[in-house]
Amino acid sequence: MEAANSPDEFIKASLASFGIEADETDLAVIGAAHQLFWPPILELVALDTSQVLAEPNPDLSQAPPR
């Protein structure tokens, strides 16, 4: 399978795969959001967090257990 080679194609293909319709205005907004968020999302995804066990159901009213 060929990877989408531009954000526009990725966005259109992803929306289409969910059956989500988007007009030109939607695509412009989504494109701007993608441009803003995608680079830091890629950085986040690239982090090696394999040693971090997320707190299951953290009690956010208190400090995490030691």
Partner 1 sequence: MSEALDLSLREQAAAIAAGEVDAAELLEATLARIETRNPALNAVVETFPERSREMLAAAPAGPLHGVPVVIKDEWPLPWRAQRFGAAEMLAEATPGESGPYRALRDAGAVIVGVGNMHELGASSTGNLSVYGPAHNPWDTERCPGGSSSGPAAAVAARLVAGSVGADGIGSIRYPAAYCGLTGLKPTFGRAAMAGHHMADVSTTIVSGALCADAADCRLLDSALFGEELEAGAASGLRIGVVAGEVSEDVDPAVREACEGAIEDLRRETGGEVRTIEIPELAVATLATILIANSESLGGITPERLNNLDPELSPLARGLLKFRALLPAIATVKSHQIRTVARRALAELFADVDVLACPTVPAVAPPLEAPVVELPSGTMTADEANVRGGALANLTGIPAISVPVGSADGLPVALQLQAAWGRDELLLDAAEALGRANGRRWVEAVPPPARGAEPLEA
Chain residues binding partner 1 by CB under 8 A are 11, 14-15, 18-22, 25-30, 33-34, 36-37, 40-41, 43-45, 47, 49, 52-55, 58-64, 66
CA 66 to chain centre: 31
The least distance separating partner 1 from the CB of residue 40, rounded to whole angstroms, comes to: 5
Report the nearest approach of partner 1 to the CB of residue 27 (Å): 8
- Beta carbons within 8 Å of 65's beta carbon, 6+ residues apart: 55
Pick the closer one to partner 1 by CB: 1 or 25.
25
Contacts by 37-41 with C-beta closer than 8 Å and gap 24+? 38/7
